[in-house]
Every structure is written in structure tokens, then in C-alpha cells.
Structure 1
Amino acid sequence: MTIPILFSLLSILLTLLHPSSGDTLPEDIFILAGQSNMAGRGGVTARKWDRYVPPQCRPNPSILRLSAQLAWSEAVDPLHADIDVNHVCGVGPGTCFASAIKSKDPKLGVVGLVPCAVGRTKIAKWARGTPLYNQMVSRATAAIKSGGTIRAVLWYQGESDTVVRADAEAYKSNMEKLIGDIRTDLNNPSLLIIQVALASGEGKFVDTVRSAQLGITLPNVKCVDAKGLDLKTDHLHLTTTSQHHLASLLADAFLASR
């Protein structure tokens, strides 16, 4: 057997044993949407990220993210760096969530994360037909183009709706409509939605928005409560440690719904 043939066979063997992220497609896909606390501000101070990622949330070849260019690659924080481009992103709940569900259920296959969150966005900016909504649906559709199934939408948003009373009071109806529109446009009428009840807000109507979030009773809509998790000195964004704790709550909610 000639040396070139040996090298070709060796190359094929290495590819089979250690496929690149480009050769691996996710089986279980999760949409990450909302505003800054979903995009991740853990470890960000004065527009700089400290680059610290909890050990439990370090990169894993079986956890992928969909880039802004719609390519799958190994998920590495900050997940939203090429999505929430007008802000400095740090650690959010996404990678930690994926690590948690895989550690708690080893039978799960390759997990795909689809970052869509953008900071400082009211829920009105996510209404059907808006650029953010269209981008989310487009990215979700692209994520399953080559296979895989969308298992849930993880939604953390509402801080910007706490400033004006009318926005806070309209939150429940706006969120319920958004859930219906997402399910319709993704052709999945029972798609699991896991939303986060606020830990903080930009205005004085935090409790109004929280009540709306906790009061949604649509089928297959779960809510985890971020209240009590540690905030950064801005009193708005979760710390890196809190993002890790939130990810565990999200993971438990997903696994309990299966």
C-alpha cells in the first residue's frame, strides 16, 4: 500500500473518530431570545468582559451555537457577541444551560444553541413582523434545515417594559400573543416556552411585569423565577455566578417538561 493511500485512510479514520463541528449537526435545538440578561452581561464591567466562564460551562464539542452567518460551531461564551453587536456581551445562561441538561441527562445528543437576544429591547420590538422577530424565526428555521428539533424557546426579557406603566400592564397580552405567533410561524403549536420572571428592571413597574410573567397559564409555558439572584453593581444585570444558577433552573424546568 502506498504512503498517499495510507495518509488518506488515516485522515478518514481521524475524521470518524474526531469529527469537526462542521461535520456534526445538533439534534436538540434551543432558541435563546429576549434582552440583555439572556444575551449575557456576566463579567462585563466598563464595557470589558473579564473572560471568566464557570468550570461547569466550559466549551464542549457536543454543544454548538449558530453564528450570525448561520454556521454551526462549538459554543463558546460570549454566545451573543455577533448578535447583540451594539453591546459588550459576557456570560449568559445559554452554555451553562446546555451543560446542565447534558450532565443531568447523558442520553441527550448534540445540543444546538441559537442566540437571538438583543439588549435594551421592549417586548414591542419582538412583535410579529419586526426585525427582531423576523430574525429569530429565520434563524430558528435555518437551525433545523439540516435536521434536528427545536425543543424550547428560552425567553428572558421585560426589564425595558418596567419604565412605563402602560408597557408593564400590556406585558401579559403581548407575551401571550408572541408565544402564539412563534408557535404558528415555527409550525409547532405545542412548542415549549420557558420564560424567566424578572430579577430586576429599568423602572419602577418590575412587580407588574413579574406578575404578568408568573400569571401566564398557556399550555406548555413554564416560568422560572430569577428574583433573589445576585445582581451586578448596576442593579440590573445578573452576575456570572447568578447566570450559572439561572441556567440550572432553566435546565430543571426543561427536563421536568419532557
Structure 2
Amino acid sequence: MRKAIAVGLVALLAMYFLGGMSARHEIFPWPQLSQLRKMVGAEKAVAPSRYTFDDKERLIGDESKTAVTCPTQTDRTAVLLILGQSNAANEGGQRYRSNYGARVVNAFDKQCFIAASPLLGSTDTKGEYWTLLGNKLIASGQNDSVILAPLAYSGSEVARWATGGDLNPVLVDTTKQLQDSGYRITSVLWVQGEKDLVMSTTADAYQKRFMSMVDTLRQHGVAAPVYISIASKCLEPSN
């Protein structure tokens, strides 16, 4: 008798659970277990980023930026066009901000913002040293105001900056925006070459493509000197 009762209970339980599963989990405790699983296993919502990027991953928006009136250029204003790859972009290990308020600004898209890492106009969201340079130029008494106009893409080879490269039109557009804002570029700062070392670009090919970029600047009214940075080789052979 007991054996028959036990078999009957097992059969009832089996029918209950199998029935619950076959009924699209609508019988207790399946709905509750399903909800619990969703609560425990649910992915954490991704926090909204303060940053906005364009289709080439260049930083074009940062909610933390402080917009200011663009300073009027005088003979004591440095307008720096910053070009190159990661060492010129926002890939630095240290962040800086203007020690002089609106006297050191980040110019981007015909607007000005108090300079602070990361700078609008380049890729990545880490640190950079251009804001520090602006602080030092003012501290030294060499300049009264500094306009930083970054346009640097991590991992970009020189061919992308030359005529026919995908970054050449962006260079032209950035130059035009500065000119439309009433700025005359006083220095062009070039920090690039690691990518071409990895790609084994020859010296002749590099020079030709680099001069093509310089010609683009000259053709669009930029007469400023172009300063080429010499980077040290460190860590890995590719660097």
C-alpha cells in the first residue's frame, strides 16, 4: 500500500513539473524561478558616457567641457595646430587643465573651451601634454594666450595625411575652421612615425608623403613653421 502511494506521489509530482514546463512555465514555481533568474543574471546597465566620438573615433564632445568666448588673436597669441598619432592625441599618462582659465583654450568646431584633458579634436580620452605646454608658454611670459587645435589620430600612418589620404580632407577642414574663427596658425606641431616604423615605410616614401601634407597646409594659407617631434624608442621594438 505504501509503495503504491509513493509511486502515485512521484507520478503526480512528475506530471506537475512536466506540465509546468510544457505549459510555457506558467505554473508555480516556474514563473517565479524564471523571474529570479532574470534578476540574478541580468547584465548591469552600461553607464552613459560623457564623451561623443565621430565615425573615425575622434573625440568631438565632452559634457565636462567649459565653453568660453574665443580669445582674440594678438601678436602674443600662440595658435598651435597639433597633428600626428597617439603621442599627439589623448593617450598620455597624465591629465592637465589650464592654470590660466580662458587664456589657454581648446579650439574645436569654431568654438573654444577651457583647455583640459582630454582635448576635443583628437582620438582617445586619456591625458595629453599640450595643455601643460600652454601653461608653460604663459608662465614663461612668451605668450598671453594659447589656442590649442588638436587633430591627432592614434595609429595613423603618414600616408593618411598626404594628398589622397582619408585624413587630408579633415586637415583642410580643421584649417578652414580656424581661419573662419579669425585665427592665423603660428606653429604646426607634428608627432608621428611609430606606425610607419612598424610598416617599414622607407625614408624616401615617408618624406614624400610628409611633404605632401605640408603642401596641403601651404595651399590652404598656412605659412607657419612645421616642427617635427623626435620620439624616443622604448619598451618594444615596434615603439
TM range (shorter): 0.5 to 0.7
C-alpha deviations, 1:32-58, integer Å up to 9, x for none?
110000003222xxxxxxxx5358x64
Q: Say which SS state the counterpart of residue 189 (structure 2) adopts.
A: strand
Q: What is the aligned counterpart of 1:176 among 211, 215, 219?
A: 211
Cα offset for 1:167?
4.5
C-alpha deviations, 1:190-236, integer Å up to 9, x for none?
421111112238985x7xxxxxxxxxxxxxxxxxxxxxxxxxxxxx5
Q: What is the aligned counterpart of 1:195 among 228, 231, 234?
A: 228
Task: Give the distance between the partners of 1:23 and 1:116, measured in 2 at CA.
Answer: 18
C-alpha deviations, 1:95-139, integer Å up to 9, x for none?
112112222225x23321111001011001111243312112211
RMSD between aligned residues: 2.8
- AA of the residue aligned to 1:145: D
Distance 1:194 1:63, change over 3 A: same
Q: How does 1:89-100 map to 2 (within 5 A)?
A: 89-100=125-136
Task: Give the distance between the partners of 1:167 and 1:119, measured in 2 at CA.
Answer: 20
Instruction: Look up the match of 2:111.
Output: 71
Moved more, 129-138 or 92-101: 129-138
Higher Rg: 2
TM-score by length of 2: 0.61
Length, aligned pairs only: 170
CA contact (8 A) 1:35 1:118 kept: yes
Q: What is the aligned counterpart of 1:120 among 131, 151, 155?
A: 155
- AA of the residue aligned to 1:24: P
Which structure has more relative contact order (CA 8 Å, sep 6+)? It is: 1
Instruction: Look up the match of 1:53.
Output: 95
Instruction: Look up the match of 1:150.
Output: 185
Task: Give the distance between the partners of 2:118 and 2:100, measured in 1 at CA.
Answer: 11
TM-score by length of 1: 0.57
Q: Which runs of 5+ in 2 are unaligned?
A: 1-66
- AA of the residue aligned to 1:63: V
Instruction: Look up the match of 2:141.
Output: 105
- AA of the residue aligned to 1:200: K
CA contact (8 A) 1:159 1:201 kept: no
- AA of the residue aligned to 1:32: I
Q: How does 1:124-139 map to 2 (within 5 A)?
A: 124-139=159-174
Q: Say which SS state the counterpart of residue 165 (structure 1) adopts.
A: coil
Distance 1:73 1:146, change over 3 A: same
Percent of aligned positions that are identical: 21
Q: Which runs of 5+ in 1 are unaligned?
A: 1-19, 44-51, 207-235, 237-258
CA contact (8 A) 2:168 2:213 kept: no
Q: Say which SS state the counterpart of residue 92 (structure 1) adopts.
A: coil
CA contact (8 A) 1:75 1:95 kept: yes
